[in-house]
Amino acid sequence: MSKLKIAVQKSGRLHDDSMKILKEIGISIDNGKDQLKASARNFPLEVFYLRNGDIPQYLRDGVVDAAIIGENVLIEKGEDITIVERLGFSKCRVSIAVPKSSNAENLKDLEGKRIATSYPNTVEQYLEKAEVKANLHIINGSVEIAPNIGLADAICDIVSSGSTLFKNGLKEIQMLLKSEAVLATSPAISAESQALIDKIQFRLKSVLRGRSNKYVLLNAPNDKLDDICKILPGMNSPTILPLAKEGWSSLHSVINKNDFWEVIDELKANGAEGILVCPIENMVL
């Protein structure tokens, strides 16, 4: 059987998060320091460590079958590349920022100004829709320094926490798009490789569902079970087991982590006691 070739960013937070999720779906990678390619011990897969900006072309040319890549890079360089799964990590945004001393407060204020960016296609399309004309300076590397050295009046770059902008005396005035890590496939992927991607995608969905949900166990009086079941429907319905204590039952279910505290408050208000909440490693449907 041929091996599936998957690209990941060679270093940085996206690299670390990508390797972490591959491990969580049961794929063990033998990667040494400074390797450009590594094989999995327990799955027909090779990982290629590449520059993020080069990955769309490798996908397009069929050099790799798939990639874990930032959505922002595909918007800039690979709109023809198919996204098969959103992975929910390495979240960021592409935004325009100006020096804190600048009078610019919105996109219209950048009419005729100079914008330094590593995302010229993204910026150009956004400006065109907003009917703003500005001069773009394409920079690969530390874009944030451009206003400080007089190269540009504004920048457009990825923003995560905003700490880099703060350190460089910049303020964010316009978000162009939000981004996260995605699994993308090559237009030239073979049927054999696609079958392997389907297996990986099944595992990813199980891990991602586990990350977004929590397992909850609680005790409740039997006369409150109907109300509590309405709060906790679970995947199909909650599991209910009788307790040794007369008139009480134990209820097991799943809750979305985003609704966690609101659900806990409702459960307590409806008579639930001894509530235990546990993380879920995988959630297979």
Per DSSP, the residues of 76-97 read HH-TTSEEEEE---S-EEEEEE
Instruction: State whether 80 and 185 are in the same domain.
Output: yes
User: What pLDDT score was predicted for residue 54?
Assistant: 94
CA distance 199 to 187: 18
Q: What angle is formed at CA 247 by the lines to CA 242 and CA 250, rounded to 5 degrees? A: 35
Q: Give the chain's domain count.
A: 3
Residues in the chain, pLDDT under 50: none
User: What pLDDT score was predicted for residue 195?
Assistant: 96
Q: How far is CA 125 from CA 72, 91, 134, in A?
A: 14, 22, 12
Tokens representing residue 25 in the block: 């779906």
Instruction: State whether 270 and 233 are in the same domain.
Output: yes
Task: Strands of the chain (E only): list them.
Answer: 4-9, 29-30, 37-40, 45-50, 66-70, 82-86, 92-99, 114-117, 135-138, 154-159, 170-179, 181-185, 213-221, 239-242, 248-256, 273-279
Percent of the chain with pLDDT over 90: 75
Instruction: State whether 30 and 73 are in the same domain.
Output: yes
CA distance 20 to 172: 31
- pLDDT tens digits for range 25-58: 999 987 666 788 999 999 999 999 999 899 999 9
- The CATH number covering residue 175 comes to 3.40.190.10
Per the CB < 8 A criterion, the answer to whether 94 and 159 are in contact is yes
Do strands 170-179 and 213-221 pair parallel, antiparallel, or not at all (unpaired)? unpaired
Strand order in the sheet with 213-221: 239-242, 248-256, 213-221, 273-279
For residue 141, the 8-state DSSP code is: S
Give pairs for 258-261: CB < 8 Å, separation 24+. 258/212, 260/214
User: What pLDDT score was predicted for residue 79?
Assistant: 86
Q: How far is CA 217 from CA 22, 211, 262, 285, in A?
A: 30, 18, 16, 20
- Could you tell me the residue range of the domain that residue 259 belongs to? 213-279
Instruction: State whether 105 and 80 are in the same domain.
Output: no
User: What pLDDT score was predicted for residue 266?
Assistant: 92
Instruction: State whether 119 and 163 are in the same domain.
Output: yes
User: What pLDDT score was predicted for residue 17?
Assistant: 95
For residue 235, the 8-state DSSP code is: S
Q: Which of 154, 189, 224 is the last residue of a domain?
A: 189
Instruction: State whether 17 and 51 are in the same domain.
Output: yes
